[in-house]
Amino acid sequence: MEAKKIRSTFIEFFQSKQHQFVPSSPIVVKNDPTLMFTNAGMNQFKDAFLGNEQPKYARVANSQKCLRVSGKHNDLEEVGVDTYHHTMFEMLGNWSFGDYFKKEAIEWAWELLTEVYQLPKDRLYVSVFEGDQDDNLQMDQEAYDFWKKIVPEDRIIMGSKKDNFWEMGDTGPCGPCSEIHIDLRSEEERKQVAGKDLVNNDHPQVIEIWNLVFMQYNRLSDGSLKELPAKHVDTGMGFERLVRAIQHKSSNYDTDLFMPFISFLEGKSGKKYGQDEQTDIAFRVIVDHIRAISFTIADGQLPSNNKAGYVIRRILRRAVRYGYTFLDFQEPFLYELSPLISANFGEIFPEVKQQQEFIAKVIQEEETSFLRTLDKGLKMLDQIKADLRAQNETVISGKTAFELYDTYGFPLDLTSLIAREGGFSLDEKGFASEMEKQKNRSRAASESETGDWVSVHDDEGVDFIGYDFTEAYSHIIKYRVVKDKKGDKYQLVLDKTPFYAESGGQVGDTGYLISESEKIRVVDTKKENDLIVHFVEKLPTDPSLRFSAEVDKRKRSLTMNNHTATHLLQSALKQVLGDHVQQRGSLVNDQVLRFDFSHFAKMTEEEISQVEDIVNSKIRENIPLLEKRNVPIEEAKQMGATALFGEKYGDYVRVITFDPNFSVELCGGTHVPSTAQIGLFKILSEGSVASGVRRIEAITSLEAEKYLKAQENLLKELQDLLKNPKDLKKAVESLLQEKAELKSELDKLYQEKASGVKADLLKQFVEKDGAKILLAQISLPNADSLKKLAYELKNEVADAFVILAAEIEGKPQIAVILDENLISSKNLNAGQIVRELAKEIQGGGGGQPFFATAGGKKLEGLPDVISKAKQMFL
Ligand code: ATP
Ligand code: MG
């Protein structure tokens, strides 16, 4: 069965059991401080499990893009080395939100695997949670009993908390689980060792394929467990592993999910997969990583120097490095795999197909720059090795290796490989300790401790009313304390709130919570999943009171101007530059708007001006806002609404329109009632942020006015300086011309002076022992003329030996020049001489044996220079 068919069969099976199919959520997580990337199918349902949100369907099935390269679930080091852990993989899941529980989950899993996919029953093992004393949990008898009905007891295994209690992170929803493992070894091997003994033992042919999690608890920050309001089923099956089992392969990479990529690399490198362990790892690393990189870029995360962007950068570098070392790819190659990604995954994940060209560009640029770094690092290593050899040392220190790693992105295994090639060893312990030190530094810098929520009022869902109101009477549902180095901070959730939480690039609202006795500042508002969290300066003395929640209206209104202007800007850019323009990021606050978009060339002055003109004309048209809430997503798409890649949209969306023929966008932000409120739009800058991504910074309304005023003032000041000429431009032009004329006159004067000095000097040469010596103190207009004069004297007088002590713009300088033949015949060296003489002017200098100069601080020393020279040479 082909991979595609295996995926669709899974979905159809659960649809036949009344499950609703939902698309994968983006791989890059927004609005969750505890998670950078989606690491399991359950992430997008976290709020439903916690009871923060009413699930839309009681039963759901999906295939989720997951990435396990950071945090609690990090498989990066395994990937490529083994054959069944990937960085990015698809997790197939079926879900029950307070609906069915263990019985159905177990029975259906068995039915699908053994009857639909026809996997051999006698190769399957299942595990059950054995209980845990620390958590005060009993064994999962219920699950055991259901399994017993369909699986012989000798293939049911009891598992510890490590394997059979699933947790998303340090806190959050969790519960006991039952895993399904498959033994894919040959018949002979199976006869020798029982599969049961190999389950959960890192055997590459006896692997876990499916995990059925029975979500029952919430892990609190103090480590204790709290029962969830309802019981749920969360299952996750590794799609790549399933495909491998069904296709009877001994490695995930031998399936039709990866083979096209491996074949391509074989063709390109001229090497064969399956012949050498080290090259095989390289093949696997590359074909695995290209998926992770492409999918994350498609979801809007560009490689960068921090956080999620840095994780992607490191994955990409790992792939490049393996290609470089083991497949001899010295030039960018990863990006050439982009068309294969699009062809193989574009159907189920259209985002990689639609952005294929963009993804390839970004990858190629990263590769190019990393290969350059790699080159630099290699040269440095050569130098390091040479230095060590000179000192008869054979160990590259951990510190050096860490420096290479930290500043040049040089992986330890590469440094160690190169070290070995040169007969050196590497202090790996030292490296590890440097690494630890750095981790501790960054941990200390970012350490914060988030307390559990404390309930105040019953939680009946949170209402955001900020589209219609900027004030409301509200109650606090819950609050918590976040401790970090800067002191305690407080967060709270309101039952209804006019405060807009930062999202879609728009900053969070600020304002006040006011009771009869208190006024508390709200310094920011952010989302945590779907919760609206208010950051406040202090907790109210009595949190149970009713508060008047008031948004800072001025700030909100200026922010709205910028947000609407951003929509107008996006449409104008499409008109001027073309339909390839897509939003890549945006920031909207009360001061500026920043808009990143895909476009491959610098915008011309004319394009920028056209864009400005279009936006300003739309502002003057005073187009009213057309806001539609709860539009079914399909309908919104038909309206031609612009959606963002990597954004998680629900089934119902909000559509913001300013003229149906001009700007229609899916957007949760706040907007002006009609465009004239924006007043004025002005672009301040246009530049590049990454390969194929441009950034515009612009201002509107008050800021734009301020800007124009400042420009006008500047002009006025210039006018004043120039005594109010009729035509300012002409006045500046003639000023510049006058300046040029004066300069050329001055140059002429300098010349005349210098040649006068020269004529004088030519008369002062004294002959001694076959050399013509000149020692003179002079004054010259600039340093250039000193050098020029010295050279001319040398060229015009045979066997010249000249020492000039000059005052130049009030400072002492010495020049020594001598005929080349005197260097050897008289053993003279201009550099040495100048250094000796420079002592008299408290200075220093140097140069070549035939010409050297020095500058100094002591102008009065010039005569001493000459008298010292006389002593030395005459
Ligand atoms: P393992 O012990 O093999 O690392 P796990 O216990 O971490 O697996 P779960 O967190 O239960 O796995 O995830 C559910 C399923 O997702 C697993 O049964 C497996 O099939 C698949 N899976 C987990 N991690 C990976 C990975 N890195 N690459 C591919 N598939 C994976
Ligand atoms: Mg794992």
- The neighbour count for residue 153, using CB atoms within 10 Å, is 8
pLDDT the model gives residue 716: 94
Tokens representing 827 are: 């053993």
pLDDT the model gives residue 62: 94
The Cα 579–Cα 313 span in angstroms is 29
The Cα 837–Cα 840 span in angstroms is 6
Q: 225: which strand partners?
A: 219
- For residue 126, which ligand has an atom nearest its CA? 1
Q: Which residues line ligand 1 (CB under 6 A)?
A: 68, 75, 85-86, 89, 91, 166, 208-211, 236-238, 240-241
Looking at the CA of residue 241, tell me the nearest atom of ligand 1: 20
Look at ligand 1, atom 6, and give the residue with the nearest C-alpha. Answer: 163
Nearest 5°: CA angle at 292, between 289 and 296?
A: 145
Look at ligand 1, atom 12, and give the residue with the nearest C-alpha. Answer: 211
CA atoms within 13 A on the CB side of 206: 20
Cα-Cα end-to-end distance for the chain = 100
CA of 75 to the centre of ligand 2 (A): 7
- pLDDT by residue (tens digit) across 68-89? 988 778 888 889 999 999 999 9
Tokens representing 347 are: 């159907």
Short-list 851, 854, 830, CA closest to 842: 854
Inter-CA distances, 541 with 341, 400, 495, 517, 561, Å: 57, 55, 18, 9, 37
Confidence of residue 378 (pLDDT cuts 50, 70, 90): confident
pLDDT the model gives residue 30: 83
The Cα 808–Cα 859 span in angstroms is 10
CA of 104 to the centre of ligand 2 (A): 25
pLDDT the model gives residue 445: 63
Cβ proximity of 621 and 590 under 8 Å = no
- pLDDT by residue (tens digit) across 384-393? 888 888 888 8
Short-list 282, 286, 353, CA closest to 316: 286
Tokens representing 199 are: 């389950």
Residue 855 amino acid letter: G
Confidence of residue 137 (pLDDT cuts 50, 70, 90): very high
DSSP string for 44-83: GGHHHHHTSS--S-SEEEEEEEEE-EETTEE-TTTBTTBS
Give every strand in the sheet of 771-780, ordered side by side.
766-768, 771-780, 800-808, 811-818, 851-855, 844-847
CA of 113 to the centre of ligand 2 (A): 21
- For residue 200, which ligand has an atom nearest its CA? 1
Maximal CA-CA distance, the chain: 119
Confidence of residue 855 (pLDDT cuts 50, 70, 90): very high
Helices (H) and strands (E) in the chain, counts: 25, 36
Cβ proximity of 551 and 509 under 8 Å = yes
Tokens representing 243 are: 């495909």
CA of 208 to the centre of ligand 1 (A): 7
- Looking at per-residue pLDDT, the higher value among 874 and 319 belongs to 319
Look at ligand 1, atom 31, and give the residue with the nearest C-alpha. Answer: 238
Short-list 692, 673, 685, CA closest to 563: 673
Q: How far is CA 691 from the centre of its chain?
A: 13
CA of 207 to the centre of ligand 1 (A): 9
Tokens representing 708 are: 């124009």
CA of 72 to the centre of ligand 2 (A): 9
Statement: residue 444 has pLDDT above 70: no
- pLDDT by residue (tens digit) across 711-747? 999 999 999 999 999 999 999 999 999 999 999 998 8
The Cα 69–Cα 597 span in angstroms is 28
Q: For a substitution probing ligand 1, which of 6, 87, 91, 163 has the most ligand atoms within 8 Å of its CB?
A: 91
The Cα 541–Cα 444 span in angstroms is 31
Statement: residue 312 has pLDDT above 70: yes
Residue 327 amino acid letter: L
Confidence of residue 382 (pLDDT cuts 50, 70, 90): confident
- pLDDT by residue (tens digit) across 635-660? 998 988 988 887 888 888 999 999 99
The Cα 452–Cα 491 span in angstroms is 11
- The neighbour count for residue 749, using CB atoms within 10 Å, is 11
CA of 73 to the centre of ligand 1 (A): 9
Strands (E), 15-164: 20-21, 59-67, 69-70, 73-74, 88-97, 124-129, 156-159
Output phi, psi for 93, to 5 deg. Answer: -145, 150
Q: For a substitution probing ligand 1, which of 92, 182, 211, 237 has the most ligand atoms within 8 Å of its CB?
A: 211
Residue 300 three-state SS = coil
Cβ proximity of 175 and 217 under 8 Å = yes
Task: Tell me the Cα Rg of the chain.
Answer: 37
- pLDDT by residue (tens digit) across 12-56? 999 999 999 998 999 998 878 778 899 999 888 888 887 777 888
Cβ proximity of 431 and 401 under 8 Å = yes
Confidence of residue 460 (pLDDT cuts 50, 70, 90): low
CA of 86 to the centre of ligand 1 (A): 9
Those residues with Cβ within 8 angstroms of residue 248's Cβ, 6 or more apart along the chain or in another chain: 184
Tokens representing 516 are: 């009869």
- The neighbour count for residue 633, using CB atoms within 10 Å, is 16
Residue 389 three-state SS = helix
Residue 103 amino acid letter: K
CA of 241 to the centre of ligand 1 (A): 9
Statement: residue 207 has pLDDT above 70: yes
What per-residue string of b and e applies to 11-26 under the rule 16 or more CB within 10 Å gives b?
bebbeeeebeebebbb
- For residue 207, which ligand has an atom nearest its CA? 1
Looking at the CA of residue 163, tell me the nearest atom of ligand 1: 6
pTM: 0.75
Look at ligand 1, atom 16, and give the residue with the nearest C-alpha. Answer: 238
Look at ligand 1, atom 27, and give the residue with the nearest C-alpha. Answer: 85
Residue 707 amino acid letter: Y
- For residue 93, which ligand has an atom nearest its CA? 1
Cβ proximity of 132 and 80 under 8 Å = no
**Average pLDDT for residues 550-579, to the nearest whole number?**
97
On average, the pLDDT of the chain sits at 92
DSSP string for 310-378: HHHHHHHHHHHHHHHHHS---S--GGGGHHHHHHHHTTT-HHHHHTHHHHHHHHHHHHHHHHHHHHHHH
Per cent of the chain over pLDDT 90 is 72
The Cα 847–Cα 840 span in angstroms is 18
